[in-house]
Structure 1
Amino acid sequence: MLTYDDAGSGPAVLLVHGHPFDRSMWRPQLALLPELGFRAIAPDLRGYGESPVTPGTVPFATHIADLVELLDALDVPSVVLCGLSMGGQLVMEFHRLHPDRVRGMVLADTTPHPETPESRRNRIAMADQLDREGMRGYADDVIWKMVSPNNPEVGAVVLPMMAAAPAAGAAAAQRGRADRPDYLPSLRAAKVPGLVVVGAEDEFTPVPIARETADALPNGHLVVVDGAAHMPNLERPEVFNAALTDFLNGLPAAQ
């Protein structure tokens, strides 16, 4: 079973962290959602934070099975999904496999596109490097792409979070991530509302990708967060939370 935080009561929102983070990246949202009358569930994915590590390769389908097991154990039949980066891709995978359990999707700083042959090779090479060298060098290399250099206080929180990620777990997740499908077809077929959020300075998933993602959703809305890079929920929590609040309050009532 995954390690998780569970706060509040009411309709459930599942918060899915990205790579190489853990559930603590959702602290501003874990504080917000109970005040809005929602139940916030934030797990550590397999291989991250305090959850079990499976070395080698962890396919996306395994992460989804873990999340379904958690929701079943918590007696949550349907849920609003909110994910950032890899977490956003897992939200799209969850929706692709279990659309009947999804009430809405929040996709932050993520891409629906599969890897190209070159990017797949690069992701596998990065996973191999994490196995060999651990997390610290990678964390140092990418911290100011994850977080805008204009937000050093957020970087001071995110850097140790990344460096503390279990290297074997992060590497296994990246190998599984390299084989993800194209999510544009399932997004175009979505029957639930979607919110797409992106930091204006995000180099990993730039604004045009976020706009394409929002346009693919039949009922999609895009919010661009100025002054943020890849982690707007931490860099500009007041803006992210306002967009999240508007989205959640606009959803049809849970059945």
Structure 2
Amino acid sequence: MPVVLVHGHPFNRSLWAPQTEALTAAGYRVITPDLRGYGESEVVPGKTLLSDFADDIAGLLDRLGLERVVVGGVSMGGQIAMEFQRSYAPRVRALVLSDTSPVAETEEGKAFRNSLADRLLAEGMDGYADEVIDKMLAAYNVTAMPDVAAQVLTMMRTTAPEGAAAALRGRAERPDYRDTLAAVKSPVLIVVGTDDAYTPVSDAEAMRDLIPHATLTVIEDAGHLPGAEQPARFNKALLAFLDEQVVQGTS
């Protein structure tokens, strides 16, 4: 069974390395693309809408000859998964939404994302990466898990500013996905770190209450990236969901 995992901003596909290893060992096919403007994908200036990312994933699936897949994402990647659900619902076997929000951007948020895009183009990624590392990870994990912190910092620092800025400008225009989620008929797993500074547990609980038959797992001792901070706990929840809700549900 194919599982597509979509990274967030400003990362790349290597964020999913622990999940790729665990899922592959369990017999799943894992697809972890670098989004346009990130990782080894082509750097694109201007503005990249969430719908552009979703269309890219659909095109990748077409190229791979895959019709229906499990789609998961973290943070911005979760919003891309929601956009994929909105535009390509028949292709979604199940959704995995980690540390993300379905709510449309506020006017204040739009201004912030556009000003941050300007800043990244002017200054590069280093200063921004240093400022947000203790929000991407729970602050206590930055010191307790130096290898994880170093990996996350490297991903952020090596992301092309043009690609990151284009995604920020597109994300500022994101729609509200709550109606989309309320209509989902496929199984949905929601995951969140207990100490997520960006999308707290209350946001995840609101999504769970919105989605029919959604499963919520709260990962202890983690922030915004529980798949990197607590991979064993994250993988246990993901594999249990796939086995119980997806594989058995289609057998």
TM-score tier by shorter-chain length is over 0.9
1:98 aligns with 2:92: no
Task: Name stretches of at least 5 consecutive residues in structure 2 with no aligned partner.
Answer: none
Pairing 1:55-94 to 2, within 5 Å after superposition: 55-94=45-84
Instruction: Indicate the larger mover: 31-40 or 145-154.
Output: 145-154
Q: 2:30 aligns with which of 40, 43, 51?
A: 40
User: For the residues of structure 1 that align with 2:166 and 2:31, how far apart are their CA atoms?
Assistant: 24
**Alignment correspondent of 2:238:** 244
1:160 aligns with 2:150: no
Pairing 1:14-53 to 2, within 5 Å after superposition: 14-53=4-43
Counterpart of 1:201, as a letter, is: D
User: For the residues of structure 2 that align with 1:252 and 1:246, how far apart are their CA atoms?
Assistant: 9
**Alignment correspondent of 1:219:** 213
Secondary structure in 1 matching 2:32: strand
**Alignment correspondent of 2:184:** 190
User: For the residues of structure 1 that align with 2:245 and 2:65, how far apart are their CA atoms?
Assistant: 21
**Alignment correspondent of 1:206:** 200
Output one character per residue of 1:188-244: Cα deviation in whole Å (capped at 9) or x when no partner: 000101111001110100110011111111010111111100000010001100000
Counterpart of 1:111, as a letter, is: S
Secondary structure in 2 matching 1:40: strand
Counterpart of 2:204, as a letter, is: A
User: For the residues of structure 2 that align with 1:165 and 1:87, how far apart are their CA atoms?
Assistant: 15
1:174 aligns with 2:138: no
User: For the residues of structure 1 that align with 2:65 and 2:23, how far apart are their CA atoms?
Assistant: 19
Q: Is the 8 A contact 2:217 2:237 kept in 1?
A: yes
Output one character per residue of 1:92-118: Cα deviation in whole Å (capped at 9) or x when no partner: 000000100001001000000011111
Count of residue correspondences: 245
Output one character per residue of 1:24-61: Cα deviation in whole Å (capped at 9) or x when no partner: 00000110111111100000000000001110101112
Task: Name stretches of at least 5 consecutive residues in structure 1 with no aligned partner.
Answer: 1-10
Secondary structure in 2 matching 1:55: coil
Pairing 1:131-146 to 2, within 5 Å after superposition: 131-146=121-136
CA-CA distance at 1:149 after TM superposition: 2.5
Output one character per residue of 1:140-198: Cα deviation in whole Å (capped at 9) or x when no partner: 00001001232232212111111100000000011001111100001000010111100
CA-CA distance at 1:252 after TM superposition: 4.0
Q: TM-score, normalised on structure 1?
A: 0.94
Secondary structure in 2 matching 1:250: helix
**Going by fraction, where is helix more abundant, 1 or 2?**
2
% of aligned pairs identical?
49
1:109 aligns with 2:99: yes
Secondary structure in 2 matching 1:46: coil
Secondary structure in 2 matching 1:228: coil
**Over aligned residues, Cα RMSD in angstroms?**
1.0
Counterpart of 1:85, as a letter, is: S
User: For the residues of structure 2 that align with 1:105 and 1:250, how far apart are their CA atoms?
Assistant: 14
